[in-house]
Structure 1
Amino acid sequence: MMFRPAVGWRARVGILVIDKDTVPEVEFQAMAPPGVTVHAARFASPRQHGSGSYGDDPASTVAESPDIARGLDHLGRIGLDAITLCFVTGSFFGGLGFDDAFAAVASEKAHGCRVATAAGAVRAALAATGVRRPFFVAPPWFNDLIAQHALGYFRDAGLAPAGLVRYDLGPAWHDKEPWQVWDANGQQEVRADELYRQVRMLAPADADGVAVLGNGLLAADAIAPLEADLGVPVVTSNQAALWYSLRLGGVPALSEGYGRLFELPLATGTAAA
């Protein structure tokens, strides 16, 4: 008799989440269609504080870091349809080759489960929605170096960024360095309505889409209002990662209220990111 899980009977997706981030589980579960469950493992950053280096083999360095390797092992043992690394900076610093290389190494550690990266999922989502000139929105804990590498990563993918802005937490946070914002749990001060307001005000007229970077930036509830008001696709890291995980699992499930990305046919964007 074929095994049919009672939990996640339609699809089960796994996510690897950095230790202090509370957002991915919340947004994945909120956007998940009926019958889809989300299972998380946490990890400490494999990158040294203040460094953008992962050595000569970034994909292996990240995949073989103790927490991530353990998480891949544990998640891989419970029969998931896909696992996503919610750590876009690994891709930004590792370059375009990081996504496929990490997925290959990580899949072996996850006992053959398919693995993707959130940044690769964003790329696939932008391609699937026809966005070529996205306006990027970054978290306030992204420093200039991360922002620079993020733009380089997407330019290397053939995109022409219309600009990048950091979400503004307000005057009380302006005297803090980006890493201090993260350490002070600034991610828990982000509001989807305020993100909507800032993007609505700042998005340039020549942008043909919006891309919200960072799995820790609460944005899911702003997707549909921004698409309605700006008239362009809106892609966020968690939305794209869930969408891509479902496609890897062959699930043609819609997630109503979270943007036109989920309205695409199953055949769109199923190639490896």
Structure 2
Amino acid sequence: MTSDTWGWRARVGILVIHKDAVPEAEIWGMAPPGVTVHSARFASPRTPGSDFQGDQAAALVESPDIARGLEQLGQLRLDAICLCFGSSSFLAGAGFDELFAEQASLRAGGTPVTTAPLAMLDAMRTVGISRPHLVSPPWFTATSYAAAERYFADCGLPFAGQMRFDLGAGWRDRETYEIYDLGGQWEVRPEEVYRQARESLPAHADGILIPGSGFRTLEAIEPLERDLGVPVVTSNQACLWQCLRMAGVRDTGIGTGRLFDHRELPRVRESALSGKAS
């Protein structure tokens, strides 16, 4: 018997870049009963074969795809919309997201809008992360990392450490910005995310932050929290959590980490983490 898939509790919208399948898969996978997810796509503001260039704030604000997506999603009687893309916001700097969300809401006919960086900020503050360890996707360039570090530091959340996920020997001779263009996103395995995040956690970090909407990490959240005793916040997890809060849905039983169920996790002994990279 087919279950009722109508969004009778909430309907959320997401804006996703043109070749990213992960946000829909992970957000649908997390969504509690009675919540539906509706997407619109936009061309990535990064030109294939190159790093981010130019005015990223203008690239988002002036994108015809985003304007069209907001207008179309705005006609679906949604409860909230999230821009599932962080790099341009990081490069634009702290303060951009609030202005973008306000203007985007107007474009969407009044539907509340948030962004992945805003969701991650609120999520980290909710679970008590103040010194996050950054685990970034393999296509995160030096430009992207520097922008993210500055963005979160300006918001009062400096990184305790950072590592870029390693896809393996076959990818190490590629320019970082080429990895996504060549399909590296399809090669990410959650068990390897778990292993690398666990091995790299600094002793002085009080949580893990995993940005990157196209970075498949959902299955690694709860094992990392159980085994390390620190909260984990990922981009797609935070995006759904924020949209559900905006919709007034406070489901705590969907099995995607402390952010949703607010369990108190015992911090592992500092000695157990000594020798980890910082």
TM over 0.5: yes
Residue type matched to 2:175 in 1?
Answer: E
Q: Deviations over 1:154-189 (max 9, x none)?
A: 000111211111111000000111221111110010
Q: Residue 126 of structure 1 aligns to which amino acid in structure 2? A: M
From 186, 190, 193, give the equivalent of 1:192: 190
State the distance in 1 between where 2:71 and 2:106 align: 9
| Number of equivalent positions | 258
Q: 1:83 aligns with which of 75, 81, 84?
A: 81
Partner of 1:164, secondary structure, is strand
| Superposed displacement of residue 216, structure 1 | 0.6
Question: Are the counterparts in 1 of residues 221 and 257 from structure 2 also a CA contact under 8 Å?
Answer: yes
Q: 1:214 aligns with which of 212, 215, 222?
A: 212
Q: Which secondary structure does the structure 1 equivalent of 2:214 belong to? A: coil
Q: In the alignment, does 2:52 pair up with 1:51?
A: yes
| SS class of match (1:178) | coil
- 1:52 deviates by 3.6
SS of residue paired to 2:15: strand
Paired letter, 2:36: T
Question: 1:138 offset after TM fit, Å?
Answer: 0.6
Shift of 1:47: 4.5
* Range with greater deviation from structure 2 (175-184 or 24-33): 175-184
1:96 CA displacement: 1.2
**Is contact 2:52–2:143 with CA below 8 Å preserved after alignment?**
no
Deviation at 1:46, TM superposition (A): 2.9
In the TM superposition, residue 123 of structure 1 has moved relative to its aligned partner by: 0.5
Q: Quote the residue 1:97 is aligned against.
A: 95
Displacement, 1:256? Answer: 2.5
SS in structure 1 of the partner of residue 233 of structure 2: strand
Identity %: 53
| Structure 1 residue aligned with 2:222 | 224
Indicate whether 1:32 and 2:31 are aligned: yes
The answer to whether the Cα contact below 8 Å between 1:246 and 1:252 also exists between their aligned partners in 2 is: yes
Kept in 1, the 8 Å contact 2:31–2:254? The answer is no
In the alignment, what sits opposite 2:140?
142
Are 1:52 and 1:93, in contact at CA under 8 Å, matched by a contact in 2? Answer: no
Q: Does 1:128 align with 2:129?
A: no
- Structure 1 residues 187, 6: CA separation in 2 closer, same or farther (over 3 Å shift)? closer
- Match of residue 258 from structure 1: 256
CA distance in 1, matches of 2:138, 2:65: 25
Is the CA contact 2:136–2:211 (under 8 Å) kept in the aligned structure 1? yes
For structure 2, list consecutive stretches of 5 or more residues without a partner in the other structure. Answer: 264-278
Q: CA deviation at 1:91?
A: 1.3
2:37 aligns to what SS in structure 1? strand
* Counterpart code for 2:191: D
Change (3 A) 1:202 1:44: same
Write the letter of the residue equivalent to 1:7. W
Give 1:7 shift: 1.8
Q: Which residue does the alignment assign to 1:42?
A: 41
Q: Which amino acid aligns with 1:201?
A: E
Q: Does the CA-based 8 Å contact 2:18-2:43 persist in structure 1?
A: yes
Q: Which residue is equivalent to 2:200?
A: 202
What is the distance in 2 between the residues matched to 1:9 and 1:76?
Answer: 17
